[in-house]
Amino acid sequence: MLISGRGSNMAALLYASQAPDCPYEIVLVASNVPDAPGLVLAAAEGVPVFARAHTGMKRAEFDAVIDAELERRGAEFVALAGYMRLLSDGFVAKWAGRCLNIHPSLLPAHKGLDVHEAVLAAGETVTGCTVHLVTPALDDGPILGQVRVAVLPGDTAETLADRVHYAEHQLYPRVLADLVSAADSTAAWLERVRSLALALPEAE
Ligand code: GAR
């Protein structure tokens, strides 16, 4: 998992992973911000952490460092949880279909930063959050799940952010679990077909 800040989505994914029936485990929390508060919590919970400032490094060079750490820990999926840095095309291509992001809007509306301010400025009455697969474009890619959140009269960017965060914490663990389960059952099915095929007599 990659984070840059507070790590509340990381915490939601981490604590959900402790349920006995959760199909995923967190093998690494890595950050491009060495003092990201989320790293402290991850370490306290016994999760391996890795931190390296990206400053002074080329994007692809930095991503190769992160990729090596993910491989070293045996990661099979990469969950971006408030990772506020664009990924290089090479990293995105390598993890295609296995890299997810969460964004605090109902994508495709309001990509990028200052989302809640934009929602309020537009006078919208509904916002939400989205989990999607990562593609090279920012906050783009196939949508895996969304939750709608009401905008209340008197909301500020902060009160709205809090409510959207709450929805994010419900959505992300569920979507990640579904994706991992689907991949596991596909892998199991392929394995079964392969073993059946091996047992079949040679074709004439
Ligand atoms: C979350 O709201 C997440 O959706 C957003 O950063 C916040 C991180 O909070 N991500 C993006 O805007 C990505 N474009 P957290 O560190 O408490 O999980």
Nearest C-alpha to atom 2 of ligand 1 is from which residue?
104
- Nearest ligand 1 atom to alpha carbon 111: 14
Look at residue 194 and tell me whether its pLDDT is greater than 70: yes
Which residue of 15, 105, 110, 165 sits with most ligand 1 atoms within 8 Å of its CB, as the best mutation to test the pocket? Answer: 165
Distance 185 CA to ligand 1 centre (A): 30
H or E stretch covering 101: strand 99-103
The predicted-structure confidence for 91-144, as pLDDT tens digits, reads as follows 999 999 999 999 999 999 999 999 999 999 999 999 999 999 999 999 999 999
What is the end-to-end Cα distance of the chain in Å, rounded?
50
Nearest C-alpha to atom 6 of ligand 1 is from which residue?
82
Which pTM was predicted?
0.92
The predicted-structure confidence for 3-51, as pLDDT tens digits, reads as follows 999 999 999 999 999 999 999 999 999 999 999 999 999 999 999 999 9
Distance 3 CA to ligand 1 centre (A): 9
Residue 186's pLDDT is 84
Distance 163 CA to ligand 1 centre (A): 13
Look at residue 58 and tell me whether its pLDDT is greater than 80: yes
Residue 195's pLDDT is 74
Residue 185's pLDDT is 86
Distance 106 CA to ligand 1 centre (A): 13
H or E stretch covering 1: none
Lowest mean pLDDT among 26-30, 40-44, 67-71, 181-185: 181-185
- Nearest ligand 1 atom to alpha carbon 103: 4
3-state helix, strand, coil in the chain (%, to 5): 45, 15, 40
CA distance 121 to 130: 20
CA distance 148 to 191: 38
Whether 111 lines ligand 1, by a CB cut-off of 6 Å, is: no
Look at residue 83 and tell me whether its pLDDT is greater than 90: yes
pLDDT band at 192 (very low <50, low <70, confident <90, very high): confident
Residues carrying an active site annotation: 103
pLDDT band at 200 (very low <50, low <70, confident <90, very high): low
pLDDT band at 199 (very low <50, low <70, confident <90, very high): low
Which residues make Cβ contacts (< 8 Å) with residue 23, sequence separation at least 6? 177, 180, 181, 184
Write the ipTM. 0.99
Look at residue 84 and tell me whether its pLDDT is greater than 70: yes
